[in-house]
Amino acid sequence: MWTVLVSIFVFTLYATAIVFSVRAAQTARTPQGAVGWVVFLVSAPFFAVPLYLFLGHHRFRGYRIARQQSERVVEGIKTFADYSRPDPSKMSINPRPFEFLAHLPISSGNGAQLLVDGQATFDAIFEALDKAKNYILIQFYIIRDDALGRKLQTKLIEAAKRGVHVRFMTDAVGSYGLPNTYLDTMRDAGIDVADPRQQRGPNFRFQLNYRNHRKTVIIDGETGFIGGHNVGVEYLGEDPHFGHWRDTHIRMTGHIVRQLQLIFTEDWHWARDEDLIDDLDWAGSVSEQDMNALLVATGPGDETETGAMMFFSAIAEAKERLWIASPYFVPDIDVMTALQHAAMRGVDVRILVPDVIDHRLPWLAAFAYFDEIRDCGARVFRYTDGFMHQKVLVVDDTLAAVGTTNLDNRSFRLNFEAMALFFDSRAALAVDQMLRTDFEASYELTRTLSQQPAHIRFGAPLARLFAPIL
């Protein structure tokens, strides 16, 4: 009897692996991802089938339908926002690829202020929340019920009591540990909460794909924030394991705030099936800094590979310098090739990654890429003053980007992300100075993979096999 049960179990497992293999071949967003899943499922079904339940399901058709249904929102911002469109022929970087990916035009009249680390970021956000007059739109991937999370909750409740309409949203998996009482307290105070556990789409811990990784705060359509910080005391450097948490946010003004607002309205439309176009301010004001800027949102709901193509477009524009800071370095083939080609052209390519581990598999997989990119002339720096989580890049002296997109396949294809791009020498200089300080708190990687300790030497190639599905 026991033998029969084991045989049935094994047969069922292999049959399931075959079904999943066919599905992966049909739905994976890249050939590499399809091959990776098929080989893994067929060769090691005992491990692969459970992982596929967590990490599989590659295309997100439902969000694309929701976006089509919210075309009025997309067209609305183009109508209501008084864009001062710069002359592309007078820009040193061609903005057309980025505009194509964003489905929005670049605009002048924008302002930017870098916010380095958690204290500066949340001081600025809380100050803006206190000044809100009409509405607040707020969204984070992770919100914790700790000292920082409760302070945010208090600020939002105080705003609601002043008559400010607060709309609050978070990700079901990112904020899986957030208790219902946290949300109930805000609802009782009059805050409009998009319950993460009642949203459409995969919203349970068993499904890790299609996470909304965006971190968005918008005040009255006038001031916006985006960057790498979530809401938890570790982002203030108070976690003893990580210590200093190195991250970057950006405070924005001008038309780019309305573009960020558009992305929030699409996410809200998906979460609540509500159209906010008539409830928000789409005119707003411009900034005296008068920077050219564009908000590029990417995700699995897009028809094209917008995440990878955004990085590819930035890399292709680099003539003298390309510096990228990311907590993970697991690029796809196209982005890796573009980075190698830029380095071979003589571009100063620098990749800044953390030395501290938060997720072991992508940390380990990165070592399998370092030799290849360094052989082409790029330089790899490992940040040592705590954990580095920022998502930042600078191209020459003309383009700076800050946002939520990591340099890995998950951010490129499986998460909803957003990056603020500023086509301005002042923004580039600010990021330049910030990253130079980070390089001083780093060491340059000089050892090859063969010179690494055994667990890295043998583990990195194995971890790289999972790169298409990380």
Residue from 117, 171, 192, 220 carrying the catalytic annotation: 220
Residue from 58, 229, 255, 389 carrying the catalytic annotation: 389
Task: Spell out the SS3 assignment of the chain.
Answer: CHHHHHHHHHHHHHHHHHHHHHHHHHHCCCHHHHHHHHHHHHHCHHHHHHHHHHHCCCCCHHHHHHHHHCHHHHHHHHHHCCCCCCCHHHCCCCCHHHHHHHCCCCEEEEEEEEEEHHHHHHHHHHHHHHHCCCEEEEEECCECCCHHHHHHHHHHHHHHHCCCEEEEEECCCCCCCCCHHHHHHHHHCCCEEECHHHCCCCCCCCCCCCEECCCEEEECCCEEEEECCCECHHHHCCCCCCCCEECEEEEEECHHHHHHHHHHHHHHHHHHCCCCCCCCCCCCCCCCCCEEEEEEEECCCCCCCHHHHHHHHHHHHCCCEEEEECCCEECCHHHHHHHHHHHHCCCEEEEEEECCCCCHHHHHHHHHHHHHHHHCCCEEEEECCCEECCCEEEECCCEEEEECCCEEHHHHHHEEEEEEEEECHHHHHHHHHHHHHHHHCEEECCCCHHHCCHHHHHHHHHHHCCHHHC
Residue from 57, 213, 249, 255 carrying the catalytic annotation: 213
| Annotation marks residue 215 as catalytic | yes
| Annotation marks residue 239 as catalytic | no
Cα–Cα distance for residue pair 78/407, rounded to 1 Å: 30
Residue from 391, 408, 424, 438 carrying the catalytic annotation: 391
Residue from 58, 215, 244, 269 carrying the catalytic annotation: 215
| Annotation marks residue 275 as catalytic | no
Cα–Cα distance for residue pair 17/45, rounded to 1 Å: 6
| Annotation marks residue 78 as catalytic | no
For the chain, the C-alpha Rg in angstroms (whole number) is 22
| Annotation marks residue 249 as catalytic | no
| Annotation marks residue 220 as catalytic | yes
Residue from 302, 396, 408, 438 carrying the catalytic annotation: 396
Q: How does 365-402 read in b/e, with b if 16+ C-beta sit within 10 Å?
A: bbbbbbbebbebebbbbbbebbbbbbbbbbbbbbbbbb
- Residue numbers annotated as active site: 213, 215, 220, 389, 391, 396
